[in-house]
Amino acid sequence: NAGVTQTPKFQVLKTGQSMTLQCAQDMNHEYMSWYRQDPGMGLRLIHYSVGAGITDQGEVPNGYNVSRSTTEDFPLRLLSAAPSQTSVYFCASSKGVAKNIQYFGAGTRLSVL
Amino acid sequence: QQQVKQSPQSLIVQKGGISIINCAYENTAFDYFPWYQQFPGKGPALLIAIRPDVSEKKEGRFTISFNKSAKQFSLHIMDSQPGDSATYFCAAGSAGYSTLTFGKGTMLLVSP
């Protein structure tokens, strides 16, 4: 029973490097979201998807790209990492009429030097 | 614009005491109000949630109180235990959207 799986758990990048944070869920959930968590800021929505092929921006989308080619996967791409993107990133998924009941992964802790 | 305001930022309670965390929202379109619990190094996990058609929901030692007219809701943890020490987030959502708007979180420490 994997649920929402995020990889890697930890990553250190240099400014300007690119990388992809992976998120996969095995619950057949159509809704998936990415949040970032910063001290004293709570969780802020970056991008979300309501199904394969459909994505939209959240509160803090700048510097991030997403795509949703399958129901299971929702990767988050940083094209040119900046120190301001140092954060903990969480992926979440939900389903159907209970779309508000979000299940979170364990997170990816990212440091950009 | 902060749509969900949470207080206090941190809270220390003695074992057996009552922990109370408050949240206020602005958007009247919100109709789902969950509380998430997060332990260090883990992702948030749904603790308890309420919809505005009821004023209170209780699950074990955890109770949500909801005041629709004041646009406020709160989490009460009765008989607080050291194992309850965690960060708690309130959130709000609406029927048309899968995403949630979160408060900034409360770090709860229950002292033995």
Q: What is the pLDDT of residues A8-59, one digit of tens each?
A: 999 999 999 999 999 999 999 999 999 999 988 899 999 999 999 999 999 9
Interface touch B46/A101, C-beta < 8 Å: yes
Exposed / middle / buried, residue B83 (Cβ in 10 Å: 0-12, 13-18, 19+) = exposed
Chain A interface, Cβ < 8 Å to B:
4, 31, 33, 35, 40-45, 48, 50, 58, 90, 94, 99-107
Yes or no: say if B100 and B85 are a contact pair by the CB < 8 Å rule.
no
Whether residue B1 is predicted with pLDDT greater than 70 in this model: the reply is no
- The mean per-residue pLDDT over the stretch B28-35 comes to 93
First to last CA, chain B: 38
Least confident range of A81-85, A87-91, B1-5, B12-16: B1-5
Enter the tokens of residue A112: 């950009």
Interface touch B99/A58, C-beta < 8 Å: yes
Dihedral of alpha carbons B20, B24, B30, B36, sign:
negative
Q: What is the pLDDT of residue A7?
A: 97
Helix H or strand E segment including B25: strand B19-25
